[in-house]
Structure 1
Amino acid sequence: MAVTRIVANLLTDEPVALAQFYGRAFGLEIPHDMGWIAFLTSDATQTIELHTASQGGSDTELPVISIGVDDLDATHAAVIAEGAEVVYGPVRESWGLRRFFFRDPAGNLVNVVDS
């Protein structure tokens, strides 16, 4: 048996509007919209990861999702331009990675990390 993918689901009363926010902020496509759920995709591939944690690191709240990006500063600017509230960072953590947290329009806490 092999895991082939892990998908994050963000709870919101407005799935299409939230998908459009992520599409604009992160350059993702919305290939499938059923009204009650919208899928976002990218051509990028990744290693499958599932994390378990008691906190978000540096004594922060645990984000519901982490998104790795190739340009943290540009993503930070895009998230702010979309009107999201940055609540932590950008900061270089003691374990080496650089990241920031924001709250999306639905209130989800999201970790963005320089990958």
Structure 2
Amino acid sequence: MNRPVDIGEKLSLFSEHWSPKVVARLNDYEVKLVKVKGEFVWHRHEDTDELFLVVEGRLTIQLRDGDVTLGPGQLFVVPRGVEHCPVADGEVCAMLIEPTGVVNTGDTGGDLTADHDTSLLDDPDDS
């Protein structure tokens, strides 16, 4: 498709927290939007880095050796294998870029593990 992805529009289409939505694909990577609130679970992704880009709000990424706090327009890459735990005092809207098939809870699993959601992709053939 020859249409831009409108991040604000896509964010307006869902309200659940900690459930990333795929909005675009780039080679073997997925661009996901997510709304978060509260504390997630400590986890790691052994085989991949994970990029967080804050669109709205303030997100703290807890790391064992010191926290990183991001505001709108700021990004941080959690290196592969590094244990981390995102925390948001209020609602935060963020973009994630990670390889296709990455599970949001990494090696931890549990109740916050989200389904792979491609419902917001513009091209149904991309799902």
Larger relative CO (CA 8 A, sep 6+): 1 or 2?
2
Greater fraction of residues in helix: 1
**Do they superpose with TM above 0.5?**
no
The alignment's TM-score, normalised by the length of structure 1, stands at 0.28
The alignment's TM-score, normalised by the length of structure 2, stands at 0.26
